[in-house]
Amino acid sequence: MKEKFYITTSIAYANGEPHIGFALEVIQADVIARYRRIQGRDVFFLSGTDEHGAKVSRAASSAKMSVREFVDGISGKFNKLLSELNISNNDFIRTSDEKRHFPGVSEIWKRLERSGDIYKASYKGLYCVGHEAFITEKDLVDGKCQDHAKEPEVIEEENYFFRLSRYGDKIKQTISSGELKIFPESRKNEILSFLGKGLEDVSFSRPSKDIPWGIPVPGDPTQTMYVWCDALSNYITALGFGTQWTEISADDGSASGREKFWPADLHVIGKDILRFHAAIWPGMLLSSGLPLPKSIFAHGFITVGGRKMSKTLGNIVDPFDLIERFGADALRYYLLREVPVFEDGDFTEDKFLSAYNDNLAKGLGNYISRTSKMVENYFSGTISKPDPKRISEVPFKTTMNALNLEGSGNIEAFGVEYFILNFIRPKFEEHMENFRFSEALDTVWVLLGKLDGYIQTYEPFKLIKTDRLKTEVVLWEASLGALYVASMIAPFMPQTSEKIFKIFTASEDPKNWNSIKIFPHASLFPRK
């Protein structure tokens, strides 16, 4: 039986159209999901949209649309973006779905009540509509929210509260021990520092007269559930909690439905919502008697020309436009190699164009084109795996220093495959296990550089005139290298990987790489 792996993105807030920041998150999650599938895991990958709250209602009003009509349109655009980016999610949850989502959220609320963790009280505080959360004076800079640069609203009302303070020590212990892992370490330290100051109870509802667009509190329709109580629950309602099941089956393979995937193995989120996921969400689950997620991955933001993306500044980057002009894999490549995984990364069209032309068009695309063209021209497009003795006649040479490996001296590999399996692949897999996507792709491009150097060393375009047999071996080795490149970039650039396998008429299983037949093709990445 395959080992399960459940991965989620945060659910996109449906108050505006998708931008490149959400594209970054879903692409990162997709790489992880695809890599785990390649490893043989039974992967369930969830994304979706968060559609309730004051911010959504106000956006719909500004657009002169009903809230339902507005969120249907916005959610459709996020779903379309996932499709155009070739994201391999298994499901897409919408928090406005009354059949799939509402029952599970209501079940969690009732469990919080049964645990004695819901109570009613009057409250006066500062409410940030951007965060859909109450904040404190210490969260403000010059009287404004640090993230949204707007003054919070002063709200006084009677709400239901969740007794989060009861679970602070347990949550801290769970994170400290690594039972709930936080990536990167800096974010783990950040949340532990926050927890060390003690958790306060949180408002868990708003008056329905003020926030009518949301899930009613069970037994009290005068109150609407706090949007984060509603939104965080998506990770489990999408698996059928509250509709198909309410109790977790023993982890012995007896579960036959989606419940087998809980708890989540990895939540992929932005760093700005870490507190909600590493404090409120674990508190809700502890109170509900449900298992906690195993890990949380908090990525950084994308800046544009060194400035935070903002509708006010007019510097929002439209991912649909980039996909239309350059292709989905080009955008995936840039966001995965040129943007640091856990830190903020900058985007400008000049940087994007430079990466596209230098690394995709002149790098990967040119290597595949040159290699396949020589096989086509010199051997009518078909060559077979040579005898190992013949491979030893044209060895693949490099140095330890060139690979940034410990030690020094020369490496004279028996062949390209030996070099890849013993030097390149281990480094690549180490980076993948640690979510170092940029470094993993760096390793692939090191391989591309070495393969290109191999062709330059033996010059098959000259060698063919004097030694046809050796030329065939060199081009086999070069083609074999292309297939390994395709296998390694499969999680990152799935369409490009698929195209390379098609060009060489090869399957994705190395055990079947015994011959290749070149399939006519256009350039992978035309120069721009």
320, part of any domain: no
Three-state SS across 280-296? HHHHHHHHHCCCCCCEE
pLDDT of residue 375: 97
Mean pLDDT throughout 341-349? 93
Q: What is the per-residue pLDDT across 295-318, written as a single tens digit (0 to 9) for each? A: 999 999 998 888 877 665 677 899
In a domain, 527, yes or no: no
Q: Is 376 found in the same domain as 277?
A: no
Considering the domain boundaries, does residue 204 fall inside one?
A: yes
Out of 299, 320, 337, a domain closes at 299
**Length, in residues, of the chain:** 528
Same domain, 262 and 361: no
The bridge status of strand 302-304 relative to strand 345-347 is parallel
The structure tokens listed for 251 are 């982890």
Residues 41 and 179 in one domain: yes
Angle at CA of residue 299, ends 191 and 168, nearest 5°? 20
Residue pair 81/18 in contact (Cβ under 8 Å)? The answer is: yes
For the segment 388-400, the average pLDDT, to the nearest whole number, is: 78
Q: Is residue 341, in this structure, part of any structural domain at all?
A: no
- Which of 268, 299, 330 terminates a domain? The answer is 299
Write the pLDDT tens digit of every residue in 92-102: 999 999 999 99
Report the distance separating Cα 221 and Cα 164, nearest Å.
Answer: 23
Q: What is the CATH number of the domain that holds 451?
A: 1.10.730.10
When divided into structural domains, the chain yields a total of: 2
Is residue 99 located within the same domain as residue 229?
yes
CATH number reported for the structural domain that contains residue 42 in this entry: 3.40.50.620
**Phi/psi at 471 (5° precision):** -60, -40
Within-domain flag for 328: no
Query: In terms of domains, do 364 and 232 share one?
Result: no
**Cα separation, 128 vs 281, whole angstroms:** 19
CA distances from 448 to 234, 302, 368, 416, 477 (A): 42, 28, 10, 11, 13
Residue 306 has what pLDDT?
82
333 found inside a domain: no
The stretch 368-389 carries a mean pLDDT of: 95
DSSP 445-492: HHHHHHHHHHHHHH-HHHHTTT-HHHHHHHHHHHHHHHHHHHHHHTTT
Please tell me whether residues 185 and 37 are part of one structural domain.
Answer: yes
Task: Report how far residue 415's alpha carbon sits from residue 407's, in angstroms, rounded to the nearest whole number.
Answer: 21
Q: Is 399 helix (H, G, I), strand (E, B) or coil?
A: strand
Summarize pLDDT for 432-489 with one digit per residue, the tens.
999 999 999 999 999 999 999 999 999 999 999 999 999 999 999 999 999 999 999 9
pLDDT at 156: 78
Beta strands in 271-414 (DSSP E): 295-299, 302-304, 307-308, 345-347, 382-384, 396-399, 410-413
Residue 142 and residue 280 share a domain: yes
Give Dmax (Cα) for the chain. 90
- Write the CB contacts of 407 (distance below 8 Å, at least 6 apart in sequence): 400
Instruction: Give 291's Cβ-side CA count (13 Å radius).
Output: 17
336 has a pLDDT exceeding 90: yes
Where does the pLDDT of residue 377 fall: very low under 50, low under 70, confident under 90, or very high at 90 and above? Answer: very high
Q: For residue 412, what are the contacts with CB-CB under 8 A and spacing of at least 6?
A: 395, 396, 397
369 with 263, same domain? Answer: no
Are residues 124 and 255 both part of a single domain? yes
317 domain-assigned: no
**Dist. CA 270–CA 308, nearest whole Å:** 14
Give the per-residue pLDDT at 252. 52
Domain boundary residue, one of 239, 267, 299: 299
Q: How many CA atoms lie within 13 A of 383 on its CB side?
A: 26
Computed over every residue of the chain, the mean pLDDT equals 91
Do the Cβ atoms of 336 and 26 come closer than 8 Å?
no
Structural domain that includes position 399: 348-517
**Ramachandran category for residue 381: left, alpha or beta (phi over 0 → left; psi -120 to 50 → alpha):** left
Identify residue 522 by its one-letter amino acid code: A
Question: In the chain, what is the straight-line distance between the N-terminal and C-terminal CA atoms, in Å?
Answer: 47
Q: What is the mean pLDDT of residues 401-429?
A: 75
For the segment 134-184, what is each residue's pLDDT rounded down to a tens digit?
Answer: 677 767 777 787 665 678 877 778 899 999 999 999 999 999 999 999 999
Radius of gyration of the chain (CA): 26
What are the helix and strand counts (H, E) for the chain? 21, 23
For the question of whether the overall pTM of this predicted structure is more than 0.95, the answer is no
Give the pLDDT band of residue 5 (cuts 50, 70, 90): very high
**Same structural domain for residues 165 and 259?**
yes
- Same-domain pairing of 295 and 361: no
pLDDT of residue 127: 74
The answer as to whether 524 is a domain residue is no
Shared domain check, 480 and 368? yes
Confidence of residue 268 (pLDDT cuts 50, 70, 90): very high
> What are the two backbone dihedrals, phi and then psi, of residue 345, each rounded to the nearest 5 degrees?
-130, 150
Indicate the pLDDT class of residue 255, thresholds 50, 70 and 90. Answer: low
Nearest-CA neighbor of 284 among 219, 332, 248, 230?
230
Residue 130 predicted with pLDDT over 80: no
- Paired tokens of 308: 């935070």
What is the three-class DSSP state of 358? Answer: helix
> What is the H or E stretch that residue 126 is in?
strand 118-128
Instruction: Compute how many other C-beta atoms are within 10 angstroms of the C-beta atom of residue 140.
Output: 15
